[in-house]
Structure 1
Amino acid sequence: MRWIAQGLPGEVAGELFAARDAGAGEQQQTAILARALGHAYFRDGGRRAHGLHITFSDVEFADFSIG
């Protein structure tokens, strides 16, 4: 299990809301979140782990806040 506390750019929230409003399912929204987390957390904003594929699965808990 990995605990991640990572700030993401506001554009990600906008992309998630737009996807939801367009009728995107959970799988598509999860893919958006995985891409954003992959870039910010695992690839350190593009400074490492180039080409790493991120799968966001088996989520037991997620807590989101805007602030």
Structure 2
Amino acid sequence: MDGWSQGAVLELGKGRIAVFSEGMMFSSQLDSTTGKKYGLTSAGAQHNEQFLNSVMHWLVEEL
């Protein structure tokens, strides 16, 4: 979806918040019938793991 935001991050007071409208990219699913992977480790989603790692790193950084 080009041009559509799927999440937002914000520094708020003494903390930070990250909100995303879709959680599949942060989890891994496997269709046991077909063996197809969805989410974090699915084909074409090679950047999901690094993105999740970057978000988590940003959330725990001291302000």
Q: Verify same fold: TM over 0.5.
A: no
Q: TM-score, normalised by structure 1?
A: 0.30
Higher relative contact order (CA 8 A, sep 6+): 1
TM-score, with structure 2 as normaliser: 0.31
Structure (1/2) with the larger helix percentage? 1
